[in-house]
Amino acid sequence: MPHLFSKLRMRDVDFANRIGVSPMCQYSSVDGYANDWHFAHLGARAVGGAGLVFTEAAAVTPEGRISPQDLGVWSERHFEPLERIVRFIEGQGARAGIQLAHAGRKGSTYRPGAGNGAVPEAAGGWRPVAPSAVPFSDSYPMPDEMTVDQIHAVHGAFAAAAERAFAAGFRVIEIHAAHGYLNHEFLSPFSNRRVDAYGGSFDNRTRFVRECVAAVRRALPGRCPLFVRISATDWVEGGWDIDQSVELARQLLALGVDVIDCSSGGNVEKAEIPVGPGYQTPFAERIRREANVATAALGMITAPAQADQIIRNDQADIVLLARQMLRDPYWPLHAAQELGQVAPWPRQYLRAAPSGTPERAPAVARSDRAAQPVGT
């Protein structure tokens, strides 16, 4: 029976366990570049024993950033500092993942603690784009409705970023289609009021995401797993919901997606979300069962026993932790102790490990077939 510390295999990539570090914006970049903060932040979570470490959302175009301080990947130069980070993560036996994103109408906004709403152009802001000229809220910028040529250009930017990311050593690529950002904006009728082939019906509203996924899948080698993060529901009647998410997941599986990363909300300013421990896990369970695709569960997962039961009960194939990993970068090592599982420690830290703890081996070769197959 799989458990939190059982190995996992997707395509040609092996994971030492089922624990992942969820993408978390750090708002610490200048002109989109990663720096020492990103190295220390992501490297610490790899040392801490996670099997998969995601970067924060990385914008595929300059106007695809949420804030001027967001990570960017719109040029080859942006990957130079990321390559060092990837080498360190992989050297700790973890897999390096990158989340590719476009903020859409939620772009050009202040980072937390620096202000609220739109950043003016004089202060480094820009005019965002979106499916329709509908702002997220009164304090957010008014976006320009995208032309079809702009839509195709964004798809190309996602594909180019994915190709560069794999060349830089990232072995998991994720498309961000959640939290009210551009891909999600096309899915939800609250933000998509188009009357062309990208708006209206379910098939039309999902077209942007499907074309984005197809472009990225073509840009990647067949051995590279592809994740898509979705918001399974808007939490508002008449919006995007779990039934539509299940159907979208079926379609994305057919396009070569390996994991649906199941979050929720973010596209409606005043949605009432019943936040609580594991509140999004039922979405991962239902999509996994009905769409027959591997899923990642996230959202208020904090306790080792809670995370372990999600895997043991076949609710998801991976658990992604966010705030808990900020509180404790070594959560996986502590969880292994609590659950009575073996988790190797870095050689440099063995003197502090429980007696008999094995030394962490170098990264598992991707040709190793010992791990359990999952997905395509």
Active site residues: 181
Q: Residue 30 pairs with which residues in a beta bridge? A: 33
Q: Do 175 and 159 form a contact (C-beta atoms < 8 A)? A: no
Q: What DSSP string describes 229-261? A: EEES--SSTTSS-HHHHHHHHHHHHHTT--EEE
Pairing mode, strands 172-177 and 95-101: parallel
Q: Give the bridge partners for 193, in sequence order.
A: none
Phi and psi, residue 316, nearest 5°: -160, 170
CA 104, 55, 367: angle at the middle one, nearest 5?
125
In whole angstroms, how far apart are CA 5 and each of 18, 66, 240, 353? 6, 34, 34, 17
Q: Is residue 82 within 8 Å of 365, Cβ to Cβ? A: no
Angle at alpha carbon of residue 310, lines to 305 and 316, rounded to 5°: 150
Pairing of strands 8-10, 13-15: antiparallel
Find the DSSP H helices in the chain.
36-47, 79-91, 148-167, 182-187, 202-205, 207-219, 242-254, 281-291, 304-312, 323-327, 331-339
Q: How far is 244 from 175, CA to CA, in rounded Å?
A: 18
